[in-house]
Amino acid sequence: AMTRTPPLGTNFPLFYVTGVLPFQVFTTVGNKISSALRYSRPLLEFPSVTVVDALAARFVLNFIIECSVFLILAYLIIHFYDLRVIVNVPMAAEAMVLAGMLALGIGTFNSVLFVAFPVYEMVYGVLTRPLMLISGVLFLVDEMPTVMKDWLLWNPVAHPIALMRGAFYPGADIAFDSPFYVFMVSLVAFTVGLV
């Protein structure tokens, strides 16, 4: 029933990709950065390799991979279904950068806590399980009742997803989107993680 009539447009695969891949940038890149200190422990024995080097390397590699996957899938869906889509490329790029910044910030914060408190890794995994549902991947945040929408907007992951939808669907209502909020959450998490 959901695939017949997506909330935006007429093609469910495109609707799904524009939601799930920015979400994947956050989760996949964030998880890779979170495990960077544990993964790169032998490299950190060298005096010239710093913690920032390990975090940056994991970020750059995984962010480029996720962006490449998004470009390939979006291109294939648009051409396979012969869709007439005018993509706002700067807005789509901004959405991916915001998702990447959020992944870097939360991942850096978590990389320290995962090493310091192993229990936190399990708690974080449990707490973020419903994140896909409350981030607007399968539904639109702006179509939720006002009480729920007000709470969902505190979720920084929902903002890059909404921005990506706005890039592919010009009629999408993304008035609630706040890149500044995502930037500040990312910056605070990144700074606390580095400190």
Q: What DSSP letter does each residue of 115-161 carry, written as one string?
A: HH-HHHHHHHHHHTTTHHHHTTSSS-GGGS-HHHHHHHTT-TTHHHH
| Residue 23: Cβ-neighbour burial (10 angstroms; 0-12, 13-18, 19+) | buried
- SS3 letters across 55-121: HHHHHHHHHHHHHHHHHHHHHHHHHHCCCCCCCCHHHHHHHHHHHHHHHHHHHHHHHHHHHHCHHHH
114's torsion region: left (phi>0), alpha (psi -120 to 50) or beta? alpha
Distance of CA 144 to the CA centre of its chain: 21
The confidence score (pLDDT) of residue 146 equals 84
157's torsion region: left (phi>0), alpha (psi -120 to 50) or beta? alpha
Name the CA radius of gyration of the chain, rounded: 18
Asked whether the beta carbons of 51 and 44 are under 8 A apart, the reply is yes
The confidence score (pLDDT) of residue 3 equals 60
Integer Cα distance of 16 and 139 in angstroms: 9
- Per-position pLDDT tens, the chain of length 195: 556 678 888 899 999 999 999 999 999 999 999 998 888 888 888 888 888 999 999 999 999 999 999 999 999 999 999 999 999 999 999 999 999 999 999 999 999 999 899 899 999 999 899 998 889 898 888 888 888 888 888 999 999 999 999 999 998 888 888 999 999 999 999 999 999
- Write the single-letter amino acid at 91: M
Asked whether the beta carbons of 34 and 110 are under 8 A apart, the reply is yes
The confidence score (pLDDT) of residue 139 equals 86
